[in-house]
Amino acid sequence: MGRVTARTPVLRIRGPHRSTRPDTVASEEPLEIRLAGTPLAVTMRTPGHDFDLVHGFLATEGVITSPADVAALRYCDSVDDEGRNTYNVVDVDLAPGVPVPDTALERNFYTTSSCGVCGKASIDAIRTRTTFDVAADPVQVPLDALLALPDRLRAAQEVFEKTGGLHAAGLFTAEGELVCVREDVGRHNAVDKVVGDAVRAGRLPLAGHVLMVSGRTSFELMQKSAMAGIPVLAAVSAPSSLAVELAEATGTTLVGFLRGDGCNVYAGAHRVV
């Protein structure tokens, strides 16, 4: 397996003092996802929980909805210059009857750590692809439980404490209990890893749950949340305009600037009590 962190020498400057010392940084490596040997997607990710990432990516792209849709998956023999397996290619066999996506008709499945998807299809197209009725979810979240989520997410970020360079996504119950947390150089990968963990356990849709993410909420994160059937998406920073529009269209509660003793509720305020 690839390493989650790496060590590198740095010049440390603190006022008039300079020193050379090793520092820990977050690893970033490509992961190629193949379907029956055919390349489907490449994402820059932090190694670890790769099978969660693959399941989550396929679920949030509407390819699968349950673990039964995947017949098998494995690391391919991708090797480095010294002949060692890089564990950077995963090949997936879909179960019989599961349609294989036609990438010629959709956007090119390419994502990066900085920007998950650019030029996404329209909000109406996302609504037609979403299997789960998020708007019908009756869950309500106590405000005090919501306000406690940023600290609980940060406390669970093991690699962030070493590097300061990873995003995180955490799945919580409506009462604020942590269900799953994943870290990655890309926000969208962290979310896919959380969703993939649920897919592999057969827990989709994630009704009654809250997804908490570090940083801002983009359109793509909102889309992934809706595709997983999550009724509440919260972030420590701001949402984009398209994220707000998609939240309203899917009936998702969207919370931003969740920090300290306050937050902004951009959509679905009826769920915050």
Q: Which residues are known catalytic residues?
A: 115
DSSP state of 185: S
The torsion of the CA quartet 7, 5, 189, 88, rounded to 10 degrees, works out to 90
> What is the Cα 185 distance to its own chain's centre?
10
Question: How many other CB atoms are there within 10 angstroms of residue 144's CB atom?
Answer: 9
> What is the Cα 151 distance to its own chain's centre?
19
Cross-strand partners of 79: 85
Look up tokens 């009826």; give the residue.
270
Residue 161 φ/ψ, nearest 5 degrees: -65, -25
Report the C-alpha gap between 112 and 117 in whole angstroms. Answer: 8
Report the C-alpha gap between 258 and 30 in whole angstroms. Answer: 31
